Structure 1
Amino acid sequence: MKIILVSLDTLRASRLSSYGYSKPTSPHIDRIAREGVLFEQAYAADIPTEVAHTGVFTGKIGLTTGVVSHGSDLTQLPKSVAWLPQLLRTAGFTTGAVDNLYQLKEWFARGFQYYINSVGGNRWIDGSTVNKLAMPWIEQHKDESFFLFLHYWDAHTPYLPPESYIPEFYDTSKDPYDPRNKSMEPAYNHSAYPFFKHHHYDLVGNVTDSDYYDALYDAEIRYLDDRLKELDDHLAALGIQEETLLVLFGDHGESLTEHDIYWDHCGLYEPTVNVPVIMRWPGRMPQGRRAQGLVQQVDLLPTLLEAIRREAPSGIDLSKLSEPGGLDGRSLWDAIEAKAEGTHETVFLSECAWQAARGIRTDRYKFIRTYDAGPFTRPPRELYDLTVDPAETMNLASAEPELADAFERELENWVARKLGDRIDPMRIQLEERGLPFRRRIEQILAGAGMTWDEWKSNPDRARFDEATSKHTRSK
């Protein structure tokens, strides 16, 4: 038995053709979905990258593990917490990864006999690099029962797809650098600009057309899709495609200017928390199944453990694969086999990086409680009826205060139950360190001789660029 778990970093579900997008971003992903099972309402309970992947590998949400923030030096994951690669290795699987999350936290390398760190000279990682490292490993271990984790970053900023991929998604008669186009001004004069200037905008160039950034994101997805086809073709050439359980998931999505978020993954809105989850296991899973109920990333761990117990591969000690205690995830097998549509009536959401907020997603409503808005302007409470307002543009919190109150009580009671006698790790983060990404902006501003309060009260790209230039010249 082979299991390949594929993280498609920053991949927004609604930007895939198989999730209803009109442009041809994902022909091979669409094929995998037709050959397997697609979950239409899969959610990242914790965002962004660090907390999302911790949930996938533990089957537990952030309030259970204590890992609620991204890039925080306060975060630790005890070695006593069950970890999927370690469970599988102990049971007899050969475990490997092509990944660089070890650069964030040491626990991401736990349990892997072969951890191939994909980090290179650039801060981004091309999918072709992942394939060049993964495909020889697969060939070397094709006769073994293995678990392989692959982490593709192509859809993450900075969007730098090969130029040949761009024309399919951007009108070539337009000039993305036309100074008469002012659609980028809201992004360039946003409070988060100092961070994205270095990590994104300077790398792409002085773009003036916001549609061009959207096209670059689409082109990155299309490029990623081709890399997944290369991987899948390799499995077929080796003769192991039929016995491989292939799982694709997004760790979080991406906001493309919605809600004052410019090509980034914060906010508990649908573009960021609704992620793709697609599985294919020939002969063991139905083809073309589209499960419509609410599911979470943390459901993947118990699903994989059940798949192994069902298959009972030779050489694997199934007694080592009983479910760990205290899981928040539930096996997806009933939804896979159409005995149910989902695993949860309610999904609780959380973030603590750019902003600190928690939320509730039901089949109809989204409620968001913001504790620290960071570089954004947010009301303390947001309530959306997604059946009539899927874009989350009409905040009903004031118009329907009793419903908002009920959701807030539900959220508070859930947090209290999860914590027991522990202190809320989000509270600890905010009181002892503050928001990690606000701290990064503060450090950048300090280098330009500016304070956070001064900048947020009047963010202006030209003013920051000039201050940065003067500071550089003075050195």
Structure 2
Amino acid sequence: MKIILISLDTLRASRLSGYGYGKPTSPFMDRLAREGVLFERAYAADIPTEVAHTGIFTGKVGLTTGIVSHGSELTHLPKSTAWLPTMLRSSGFATSAVDNLYQLKEWFARGYRYYINSVGGNRWIDGRTVNELAFPWLEQHKDESFFLFLHYWDAHTPYLPPESYVPQFYPRGRDPFDRANTSMERAYNHLAYPFFKHHHYDLLGPVTDSDYYDALYDAEIRYLDDRLQDLDRHLEKLGIREDTLVILFGDHGESLTEHDIYWDHCGLYEPTVHVPIMMRWPGRMPEGRRVPGFVQQVDLLPTILEAVRRENPRGIDPGKLADPTGLDGKSLWPAIEGRTDRTHDTIYLSECAWQAARGIRTDRYKLIRTYDSGPFVRPDTELYDLRDDPGETVNLAESQPELAARLERQLMEWVSGKLAGRPDPMEQQLQQAGLPFRRRIEQILASTGMSWDDWRLDPRRERFDTALRSHG
């Protein structure tokens, strides 16, 4: 049996044709979904990258593992926590990853017999590089039962797609540097600007047209789609395509200027928490199945374990692949086979990086409770009717206080139940170290002689650029 689990970092569901987008960003992924199963309302319960992937490999949400923050020095995942690659390796699978999350936290390398670190000389990892590292390993292990984790970063900032991919998403003849266009001013004057200047804006030059950034994001997705097609062709060349369970997921999405978030993945709004999940396993899964109800990333671990137990491959000990205790995820197999349309009736959401917030998502409503807004301006409570207001533009918290109070009580009861008397890791993070991404901005500002309060009082691009130049 062969399993390839593929993380498509920063991939927003609503930007794929299979999820209703009108531009040709994902022809291969659309085909893969037609050959297998697509989950229409899949959610990242914890964002961003560190907490999302921790949940995927444990089958447990952040409040269960204690990992709720991204980039925090306070977090640690005990080695006693059941971890998917470790379980598969102990049962007899050859395990490998092409990934660089080990640079973030050591636990992301656990359980792999072969960990191929994709980090290179710069921050941007090309999907072609991931394939170049993965293909030889596949050739060497094609006759074994294996688990391979691949992590593609193409849709993550900085958006630097090959130039040939841009024209199909940005009109020819339109100038992204036209000084008459002022649509980038809000992004350049945002409190988060120092971070993105360093990691993103300077790499593209003085862009004035915000639509150009959106087009680059689309171009990156299309480039990624082509690299995934290259991978599929390689599986076919090796003669293992029909034997391989392929699972694609987005770890979180991306906001493209919505809610004052400029090409980043914070905020518990739909662009960031609604992610794609699709899978294909020829002959073992139905073709063209679309699951309409709620599922979430932590469902992937029990789904994979059940797949192995069903297949019962030679040389693999299924006795070591029982579901760990305390899982928050549920197997997707009943939904895959049409016996149900969901694994969850309600989704609970959390973030602690740029902002600290929790949320609850029902079929119709979403409530967000913000505890620290970081570099953003947020009301303490937001309530949206996603049936009538899918863009989450009208906050109903004041006009429907009883509904807001009921949903907040439900959220707090869920949090209390998950903690079961343990300290709240989000509270500990805020009290002991603060928001991790605010600290990053403070470090950048410190190099210019500016403080966070200086920047808050006058978040002007010109002043920061002048200060940065004066400090070399």
Q: Assess same fold via TM > 0.5.
A: yes
What is the Cα deviation at residue 458 of structure 1?
2.4
| Residue 178 of structure 2 is aligned to residue 186 of structure 1 | no
Once the two structures are TM-superposed, the CA of residue 463 in structure 1 deviates from its matched residue by 0.9
Q: Which aligned runs of 4 or more in structure 1 are off by greater than 3 angstroms?
A: none
User: Alpha-carbon deviation of 1:196?
Assistant: 0.2
Task: Please give the alpha-carbon distance, in whole angstroms, between the structure 1 residues aligned to 2:311 and 2:136.
Answer: 26
In the alignment, the residues of structure 1 paired with residue 172 and residue 186 of structure 2 have an alpha-carbon distance, to the nearest angstrom, of: 24
Query: In the TM superposition, what is the alpha-carbon distance from 1:201 to its structure 2 partner?
Result: 0.0
Hey, what does 2:248 align to over in structure 1?
A: 248
Equivalent in the alignment of 1:428: 428
Moved more, 447-456 or 170-179: 447-456
| Paired letter, 1:15 | R
SS of the residue aligned with 2:471? helix
Aligned-partner SS, 2:266: coil
Q: Deviations over 1:342-373 (max 9, x none)?
A: 10000100000000000001111111000000
Query: Which whole-Å deviations, capped at 9, do the CAs of 1:211-259 have from their partners, x for residues lacking one?
Result: 0000000000000000000000000111110010000000000000000
Task: Letter of the 2:201 partner, please give it.
Answer: Y
Task: State the partner residue of 1:268.
Answer: 268
C-alpha separation in 1, matches of 2:186 and 2:340: 44
Q: 1:340-351 alignment to 2 at 5 Å?
A: 340-351=340-351
Q: Could you say which residue in structure 2 is the equivalent of 1:378? A: 378
- In the aligned structure 1, how far is the partner of 2:126 from the partner of 2:381? 39
- Which residue of 2 is the match for residue 135 of structure 1? 135
3-state SS of 1:294 partner? strand
Q: 1:66-85 to 2 correspondence within 5 Å? A: 66-85=66-85
Match of 1:146 in 2: 146
Q: How is 1:56-205 mapped onto 2 (pairs within 5 angstroms)? A: 56-205=56-205
Counterpart of 1:212 in 2: which secondary structure? helix
Distance in 2, matches of 1:63 and 1:285, equals 32
**Map of 2:361 onto structure 1:** 361
| Superposed displacement of residue 203, structure 1 | 0.6
| Matching residue's letter, 1:274 | H
Alpha-carbon distance in 1 for matches of 2:327, 2:204: 42
Map 1:385-424 to 2 at 5 A: 385-424=385-424
| 1:25-40 map, 5 Å | 25-40=25-40
Q: How many residues align?
A: 472
CA distance in 1, matches of 2:230, 2:379: 45
Write the distance in 1 (CA, Å) between the matches of 2:151 and 2:83.
17
- Take 2:445 and 2:222, find their aligned partners in 1: how far apart are those partners? 36
Partner SS state of residue 183, structure 1: coil
Residue 307 of structure 2 is matched in structure 1 by 307
Q: Deviations over 1:59-103 (max 9, x none)?
A: 000000000000000000000000000000000000000000000
Separation in 1 of the partners of 2:410 and 2:357? 15
- The separation in 2 between residues aligned to 1:468 and 1:122, in whole angstroms, is 22
Cα distance in 2 for partners of 1:177, 1:81 equals 50
Identify the residue that residue 471 of structure 1 maps to in structure 2.
Answer: 471
Shift in Å, 1:457 = 2.7
Cross-structure match for 2:21: 21
Aligned-pair CA distance for 1:33: 0.4
Cα shift at 1:454: 2.1
Report the secondary structure of 2:298's partner residue: helix
1:218 counterpart residue number: 218
Deviation at 1:455, TM superposition (A): 1.0
Amino acid at match of 1:60: K
Please state how far the C-alpha of 1:442 moved relative to its aligned partner: 0.8
Letter in 2 for 1:143: D
Q: Quick one: which amino acid aligns to residue 348 of structure 2?
A: F
Mapped to 2, the partners of 1:97 and 1:447 lie a distance apart of 36
Alpha-carbon distance in 1 for matches of 2:329, 2:205 = 43
Q: Where does the alignment leave 5 or more consecutive residues of structure 2 unmatched?
A: none
Cα distance between partner residues in 2 of 1:176 and 1:155 = 20
1:469 to partner: Cα distance: 1.2
Give the CA deviation at 1:200. Answer: 0.2
| In 1, Cα distance between equivalents of 2:463 and 2:11 | 33
For 2:227, the equivalent position in structure 1 comes to: 227
**AA matched with 1:339:** R
1:391-423 deviation digits (Å, cap 9, x = unpaired): 000110000000000111111111111111211
Q: Deviations over 1:250-286 (max 9, x none)?
A: 0000000000000000000000000000000000000
**2:68 partner SS:** coil
> TM-score scaled to structure 2, two decimals?
1.00
Which secondary structure state, in structure 1, belongs to the residue aligned with residue 253 of structure 2?
coil
Give TM-score, length-normalised by structure 1: 0.99
The residue aligned with 2:3 is 3
Matched AA of 1:401: P
Distance in structure 2 (CA, Å) of the matches to 1:128 and 1:166? 18
